[in-house]
């Protein structure tokens, strides 16, 4: 059975194809590898070197900051970008798909409308705008949703198998629960509506890059074949098996992204990888809770991946 077959079966049936634990770790490449053939080649080099089982294409095309959006009411000025805005990102998608589609599953990082809005005005000002007039900000998020439809469609047209769709805003100390549920969650789900029934391998990523979570309750009904979530929630450690059971789907993760996987030594990486697999569900992909430190030695990633591939469940 090929890597691609294994991964598609995991998403389709929610169980591993055989006694084999796949692995997938992600990081951002240096800036001169964000676009063009350099980006394509760096993704290919990373895939071949690390031995990972999933190719996630990094999204590196930020929305520009807009000085004209100073008040919540200014979100009506948010432009709706068409496919040409995403051309450099879509060129990378096309190149990676052309080279790797026969070997493995290919997905694309997809930030949420809330996350893109943070690009436009900055994270702190966005929270201030939500505090002042969340209804007005929601209008801007709806425009971003329409813009993202062009990105999603462009990726699907170029042959991707799915998306690594991130959500933020519901972490501790960011948005009140009622504001998140009324104004952010609907836009998250509106984006999912574009692709969830059209692509066979989609990952829900509950992103803790900005802050930790008190609980995952508001995300358990989000779509996605696989869930990626941190192993720290509500001030306690939670196992991959618990996360899998909570979301009722296979789990991607288990290792701390800024821990030994990013810093070494290799023997500690191997121990943590083994522990993550042992405490995880049968249906899992060994990985980390988010992107690793950009300077992580790929040897470290290869070491964790080899532990997964050589693991045999007791």
Q: Report whether 280 contacts 240 (CB < 8 A).
A: yes
Q: What is the pLDDT of residue 71?
A: 98
User: CB neighbours (10 Å) of residue 201?
Assistant: 22
- Would you kindly state where each structural domain of the chain is located, as residue ranges? 3-310
CA dihedral of 196, 197, 203, 205, whole degrees rounded to 10: 20
The band of 312, judged by pLDDT with boundaries at 50, 70 and 90, is confident
Q: Which of 158, 29, 26, 145 is nearest to 87 (CA)?
A: 158
Percent with pLDDT over 70 in the chain:
99
Specify the pLDDT at position 313: 64
Q: Is 99 helix (H, G, I), strand (E, B) or coil?
A: helix
The residues facing 215 across adjacent strands are none
**pLDDT grade, residue 18 (50/70/90)?**
confident
In whole angstroms, give the CA distance from residue 184 to residue 278.
Answer: 35
CATH of range 3-310; options 2.60.40.10, 1.20.58.220, 3.30.505.10, 3.20.20.210:
3.20.20.210
CB neighbourhood size of 270 (10 A): 17
Count CA within 13 A, CB hemisphere, residue 139: 14
Q: What is the pLDDT of residue 189?
A: 98
Inform me whether the pLDDT recorded for 184 exceeds 70: yes
Task: Report how far residue 314's alpha carbon sits from residue 311's, in angstroms, rounded to the nearest whole number.
Answer: 9
> What's the token pair of residue 208?
């803790």
pLDDT number for residue 111 = 97
80-130 pLDDT, tens digit each: 999 999 999 999 999 999 999 999 999 999 999 999 999 999 999 999 999
Cis peptide leading into residue 23 (ω within 30°): no
User: Are 308 and 273 in contact, with CB atoms under 8 Å apart?
Assistant: yes
Secondary structure letter of residue 254 according to DSSP:
E
**pTM for the model:** 0.96
**Exposure of 114 in the CB half-sphere (CA atoms within 13 A):** 28
Residue 68 belongs to what H/E stretch?
Answer: none
Tell me the pLDDT tens digit for each residue of 243-254: 999 999 999 999
**pLDDT tens for residues 199-239?**
999 999 999 988 999 999 999 999 999 999 999 999 999 99
Taking all residues of the chain, what is their mean pLDDT, rounded to a whole number?
A: 96
């Amino acid at each position: 059975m090929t890597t691609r077959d294994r991964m598609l079966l995991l998403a389709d049936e929610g169980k591993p194809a055989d006694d084999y634990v796949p692995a997938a770790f992600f990081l951002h490449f240096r800036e001169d590898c964000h676009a063009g053939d350099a980006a394509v080649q760096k993704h290919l080099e990373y895939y071949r070197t690390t031995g990972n089982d999933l190719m996630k294409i990094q999204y590196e095309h930020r929305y520009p900051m807009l000085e004209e959006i100073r008040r919540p009411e200014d979100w009506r000025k948010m432009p709706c970008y068409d496919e040409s805005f995403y051309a450099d990102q879509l060129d990378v998608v096309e190149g990676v798909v052309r080279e790797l589609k026969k070997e493995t599953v290919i997905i694309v990082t997809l930030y949420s409308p809330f996350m893109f809005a943070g690009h436009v005005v900055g994270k702190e000002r966005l929270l201030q705008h939500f505090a002042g007039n969340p209804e007005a900000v929601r209008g801007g998020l709806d425009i971003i949703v329409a813009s993202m439809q062009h990105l999603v469609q462009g990726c699907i047209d170029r042959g991707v198998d799915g998306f690594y769709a991130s959500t933020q805003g519901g972490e501790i100390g960011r948005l009140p629960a009622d504001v998140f549920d009324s104004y952010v969650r609907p836009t998250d789900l509106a984006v999912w509506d574009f692709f969830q029934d059209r692509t066979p391998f989609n990952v829900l990523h509950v992103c803790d890059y900005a802050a930790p979570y008190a609980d995952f309750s508001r995300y358990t009904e989000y779509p996605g074949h696989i869930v990626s979530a941190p192993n720290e929630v509500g001030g306690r450690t939670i196992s991959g098996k618990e996360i899998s059971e909570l979301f009722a789907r296979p789990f991607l993760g288990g290792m701390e992204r800024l821990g030994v996987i990013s810093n070494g030594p290799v023997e500690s990486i191997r121990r943590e990888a083994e522990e993550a697999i042992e405490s995880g569900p049968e249906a899992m992909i060994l990985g980390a809770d988010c992107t690793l430190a950009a300077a992580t030695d790929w040897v470290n990633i290869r070491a964790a991946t080899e532990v997964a591939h050589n693991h045999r469940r007791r």
